[in-house]
A and B are shown apart, each in its own frame.
Chain A
């Protein structure tokens, strides 16, 4: 198994992608709702990632 070196951002982005897909599938009842919910979740993950990143940067000064 090759070793993979990802940055914080890349790893969090991958996590968000996989989690959004599965949570989108199991969270809603029609395919259209699943797609919308999956995209919404991915957007929420991204917003939290960027928001918390800035919060930590500002907190550290």
Chain B
């Protein structure tokens, strides 16, 4: 089966398991949670039990010890059913757990990672009201004061930062000016409940409505010096490396959503009849489905290949940008065709097409807009080295 081409027996078993889990435990509740814009502690606890919160963490930190292809399959299979739950998992693993695991001290890792693999969440505070694609324009500051750093500023659109089971967030702040005149950026570990740190859950989202998205405010938040992640001035590099990997999980969300929209549209098209025959036998419809399938084949093969590069510690800056861009645009195309194939029903909330159509849009914006991905690719192929 093309879905499992070149996968190991364990990876196939993992896909079947996650697919079953998503269909049986997430699907029956997804629409209602989306409608009510409600984060589900129950589903998150079930996902934690399955080992979804520590996908690629080694066993010594309580993780599942997955290779990157397997982690990506987990995200893909959840996204096939529900963008919100996939967002919780992708953001937690790639952005929450990732930076702590890759850049944290042994002491920090031992302190946080086992809890994060076992039912607790962690945020990644990068984006600010004035600094999205332009992360260099970060305004949040951290000033040294004795044994502490004092943080002031704010963050926006931070996934998983404000649930009752969130332990804290990794926060990027300006700690000075470098010799070349650019801002010196450093990451800090900020635990929820630290005085001066307030979190506001953002409501009225178009998509991923059952995932938790927050604004973070820092008013003279004092964190001990040992809460610095890595070295002073490493923040920008850490952030870029985190995003290189994180893009693969957004790509997996695009791939999964596209597959879900495709499966749904194909099934509908084989049953719905016009002019006396199933619409899947009308070329106008069958060609749309053929186009999505072509995209799925290419996207899956490429994404898994980039994951294998990452497993071998190869640099994937360009490749992860391509995977993220391709998969998110594929999700857009698939969801759009899905609605079109369902016609009027595609516009109704009663049918899944409408939710796929809303959920896909974030993928072209979050973790680097499509425009930024093109910029990354263009930079990597040397367009600007004149």
| Chains A and B come from one and the same complex | no
Residues of B bordering A, CB below 8 Å: none
